[in-house]
Amino acid sequence: MLFQSKKPHFQHLKKKWTAQHRSLQNKLWDAHGQSLNWLAKNMPSRHLAAGALGGLLLLSAPAGFALAQPIATSSENITAGFDKNILLAEQLKKMVPSEMRNLSPQEESDISKTLSENFDLIVKPEIDGLKLNRTYGLIGGEQHLYRYPGDNLYKHADTTSDWAMYGDAGIAPGLGAWGYFTPSEAQFSEKDKMREKYYIAVQTFLAPGFAENVAKYRDFFKFRKMLLLNPQTGQAVVGVIGDSGPAEWTGKHLGGSPEVMQDLGLAGGPRKGAVLYFFIDDPKDIVPLGPIKVKGGN
Amino acid sequence: MPHFYTRFISVETIVQELHGLDLSEEERIHLAALIDSSIHHAILDEVLSNLQDEDKKLFLKLLAEDEKHEKILDFLNAKVDHIEDKIKKVAGDLTAKMHQDIRKAKEKR
């Protein structure tokens, strides 16, 4: 623990739950240490680190249990952890303007081609002649959205760590531009959950032609899949348009859910920054929502 | 990260209780990590205790390989009767104890 706290209620819980955690660890390892060690010996380390075991289990093996560490035996192991998104950021520095302005059609074409190649997706500034007002802008952090009638902030957390990381953002008092993500809690699906988790708000009302074709544009933008990328770091996320905004006077061009901001590396400090945002042409709905790595990266 | 059991355990009430405590971001993250890891250890212990040795290995292999956890529940349902109920009970018992701890912590403010 790298911080100090003298709050008595925190100290009470920390002491109690650390002891309980240690006891649960010891119980698990006493009963099943042989099987867990078998796994460590027989699985590539990248699987152990990436999966559920790495974060919550193997890294916290209690003292006295020396886990057998697998050794690197292939080029894949040797390059494990190498992040190709950083290389993409370097490549984009030559293509993205240093000032905050909209991209020219040529820049949009060049950048979308680069993104398509790097992520193995069909990334476009427009689909069927419909486009947003811009593809490069300033994103700001948004709150969570109500997903169904009766939803609340606490239900958004799958784990307590979700709440610790994203709960502070709060929940918007009003609904998103398309209302609830689903009509009732009973109909709430994993797909709805992921859509709210990785939603963005874009200025649909400023899209060229919007005023003349409101219904057509509203339907086109609803849950439209987009690739967002922080050109400074290469961090990228696939999200959906789940709300309309922000207002022009804010100086921001789009908004991201707490999870989107986290995955773009923009959750700290002012909770805003420059991003590229392009449509993903995914008519079969194959591309999963969430953080995305350059193909061949880890 | 969602786990194979995320769908049938709920941390909503724990989160709601913690939300009412005066905690900094670091304190929140620290306590949340203890809760999640404790639940994870307790559930893994319960699952492994209900499996034969060879099935333990298969389960752990699936857990490490199948990041989306699509096959794990099918596997467990085929091997253990009422595994979902068993997991719910373990998680429920643990979070009930944590609720008591939070109530006692509130008295210390």
Task: Give the pair of three-digit tokens for residue B77.
Answer: 């349902």
Please state, in angstroms and rounded to a whole number, the distance separating the CA atoms of residues A142 and A218: 20
Please judge whether A9 and B109 are an interchain contact, meaning their C-beta atoms are less than 8 angstroms apart.
yes
Which chain B residue shows the shortest CA-CA distance from A160? Answer: B32
Query: Is the pLDDT confidence value at A131 over 80?
Result: yes
Q: What is the pLDDT of residues A185-229, one digit of tens each?
A: 999 999 999 999 999 999 999 999 999 999 999 999 999 999 999
Average pLDDT over residues A121-133: 97
Query: Is the pLDDT confidence value at A64 over 50?
Result: no
Average pLDDT over residues B42-46: 96
Mean pLDDT, chain A, integer: 89
Instruction: Tell me which residue has tokens 């923009």.
Output: A266
What pLDDT is recorded for position B64? Answer: 86
Please judge whether B38 and A16 are an interchain contact, meaning their C-beta atoms are less than 8 angstroms apart.
no
Query: Coil, helix or strand for A234?
Result: coil
Average pLDDT over residues B56-66: 89
Q: What is the pLDDT of residues A72-102, one digit of tens each?
A: 333 444 444 458 899 999 999 999 999 999 9
What pLDDT is recorded for position A79? Answer: 44
Contacting residues of A for B65, CB less than 8 Å apart: 43, 47, 51
Please state, in angstroms and rounded to a whole number, the distance separating the CA atoms of residues A162 and A159: 5
What pLDDT is recorded for position A210? Answer: 96
What pLDDT is recorded for position A52? Answer: 53
Residue A17 forms contact with B (CB below 8 Å): yes
Please state, in angstroms and rounded to a whole number, the distance separating the CA atoms of residues A258 and A244: 16
- Residue pair A228/A275 in contact (Cβ under 8 Å)? The answer is yes
pTM for this one? 0.86
- Residue pair A104/A229 in contact (Cβ under 8 Å)? The answer is no
Report percent pLDDT > 90 for chain B: 76
What pLDDT is recorded for position A263? Answer: 96
Cβ burial of A128 (10 Å; 0-12, 13-18, 19+) is exposed
What pLDDT is recorded for position A102? Answer: 96
Instruction: Tell me which residue has tokens 């989306």.
Output: B68
Torsional sign, CA B12, A198, A292, A138: negative
Report percent pLDDT > 70 for chain B: 97
Please state, in angstroms and rounded to a whole number, the distance separating the CA atoms of residues A139 and A271: 8
Say if strands A199-202 and A272-280 run parallel, antiparallel, or are unpaired. unpaired
Chain B nearest CA to A213, separation (Å): 40
CB proximity under 8 Å: A 24-83 to B? 24-25, 27-28, 31-32, 35-36, 38-39, 42-43, 47-48, 50-53, 55-57, 60
The letter for the amino acid at A221 is F
What pLDDT is recorded for position A5? Answer: 79
Q: Which of A34-38, A82-86, A181-185 has the highest mean pLDDT?
A: A181-185
Residue A10 forms contact with B (CB below 8 Å): yes
Task: Give the pair of three-digit tokens for residue A205.
Answer: 């009302």
- Residue pair A225/A279 in contact (Cβ under 8 Å)? The answer is yes
What structural domains and CATH numbers belong to chain A?
Answer: 8-82 (no CATH), 92-292 (2.40.40.10)
Residue B81 forms contact with A (CB below 8 Å): no
What pLDDT is recorded for position B36? Answer: 95
Please judge whether A158 and B63 are an interchain contact, meaning their C-beta atoms are less than 8 angstroms apart.
no
- Residue pair A35/B56 in contact (Cβ under 8 Å)? The answer is yes
Please state, in angstroms and rounded to a whole number, the distance separating the CA atoms of residues B70 and B50: 20
CA nearest A164: which of A153, A150, A178?
A: A153
Please state, in angstroms and rounded to a whole number, the distance separating the CA atoms of residues A273 and A116: 22
- Residue pair A143/A169 in contact (Cβ under 8 Å)? The answer is yes
What pLDDT is recorded for position A43? Answer: 77
CA B107 to chain centre: 26
The helix (H) or strand (E) run that includes residue A241 is strand A236-244
Average pLDDT over residues B24-46: 95
Asked if omega into A208 is within 30° of 0 (cis), the reply is no
Task: Give the pair of three-digit tokens for residue A98.
Answer: 């240093």
Chain A nearest CA to B73, separation (Å): 14
CA A112 to chain centre: 20
Q: Who's near B42: CB < 8 A, 6+ residues apart?
A: A24, B90, B91, B94
